[in-house]
Structure 1
Amino acid sequence: MVSRFSIPLFFGTLLLLTVPFITPIKAQSILYNPLSLPMNRKINDRLSAKDIPTGEGGFARDYQVRLEKNDQVSIDLKSEDFDSIVLLIAEDGTTVAENDDGPDGTTNSLLFTRITESGRYIVRVRAFGKTGGGDFTLKITRLQPIQGD
């Protein structure tokens, strides 16, 4: 005959015997830390499945850059391996500007914008849709204002 104390006692004992063997789940050890993007210098890199998933089947890679109010910049992203998109993202996460296909008729991206607030910005390199990844070159250039006579 099973008493009314047997079942709780059984499960309580089972819990005490099981708890010491439960392994805690560790948090991801790699934190989001975009690479620094040098001004006026081209970099060569690679977009791969190890980068940030976009939710559209593709991936993105982020770089950070410090920009000042009234800076005029161009961001040039070129790849022969994938259809590129470049985004400039403010510290608060809003998209300042983006470009999919540049004016040269290719799937490369060329973005021109004026900065309205000083701060740290993210330059995001991504592939259009599920076009994959591959090698690319990226360059951000601070444009010189035209001097009047």
Structure 2
Amino acid sequence: MGIQKVAFIPAVLTIIVTSITSASAQQVKLYNPIPLTTGNQVSDSLSDKDIPTGQGGFARDYLVQLRKGDNLAIDLSSDSFDSIITLLSPNGSTVAENDDGPDGSSNSLLFTRITKTGTYIVRVRSFGETGGGTYKLRVTRLKPVK
């Protein structure tokens, strides 16, 4: 019997270690922001597979490399949901946010100047429980008028 117990314990430990490793690997894959290049328009879709906001809606994040002094326009439009656009700094704080654009629509448009070089997050989300659907996102570096 002593041999059976010794043979059984390592199998249980292997299962526990495998379970912990699998759980850790799944956690890493849960949050995976999409790399974004400034100047390009992205057509995408927001769904219940994205990040829950805790307010009934969902969010999707994009990574963008920005430099100190960059002047940005971030434009988010959707016919499917009331959009909100948020720019998060490398430390996670909110740099700028916009709910409704200046045209009175539920699309979002924000302008901001970057004060520190780094990797920022552009967060696309729906307002409240307005759900999801297709959208277009564009991050543009503005050039000064000469």
The TM-score with structure 2 as length reference comes to: 0.83
Q: Which runs of 5+ in 1 are unaligned?
A: 1-12
**Residue pairs, 1:1-149, within 5 angstroms:** 20=12, 24=16, 25=19, 26-27=22-23, 28=26, 30-147=29-146
User: How far is the alpha carbon of 1:37 from its aligned partner?
Assistant: 1.0
What does the per-residue CA deviation read over 1:116-146, in whole Å, with 9 as the maximum and x for residues that have no partner?
0010000000000111000000000000012
- Paired residue type of 1:128: F
- Paired residue type of 2:105: T
Q: Which runs of 5+ in 2 are unaligned?
A: none
Cα distance in 1 between the residues matched to 2:108 and 2:67:
23
The TM-score with structure 1 as length reference comes to: 0.82
User: How far is the alpha carbon of 1:68 from its aligned partner?
Assistant: 0.5
Cα distance in 2 between the residues matched to 1:138 and 1:128:
16
Which secondary structure does the structure 2 equivalent of 1:136 belong to? strand
Cα distance in 1 between the residues matched to 2:55 and 2:13:
39
Moved over 3 A (4+): 19-26
Cα distance in 1 between the residues matched to 2:57 and 2:121:
18
The RMSD of aligned alpha carbons is 2.0
User: How far is the alpha carbon of 1:23 from its aligned partner?
Assistant: 5.2
User: How far is the alpha carbon of 1:22 from its aligned partner?
Assistant: 10
Calculate percent identity across the aligned residue pairs: 57
What does the per-residue CA deviation read over 1:98-129, in whole Å, with 9 as the maximum and x for residues that have no partner?
00000011000001000000100000000001
Cα distance in 2 between the residues matched to 1:143 and 1:137:
19
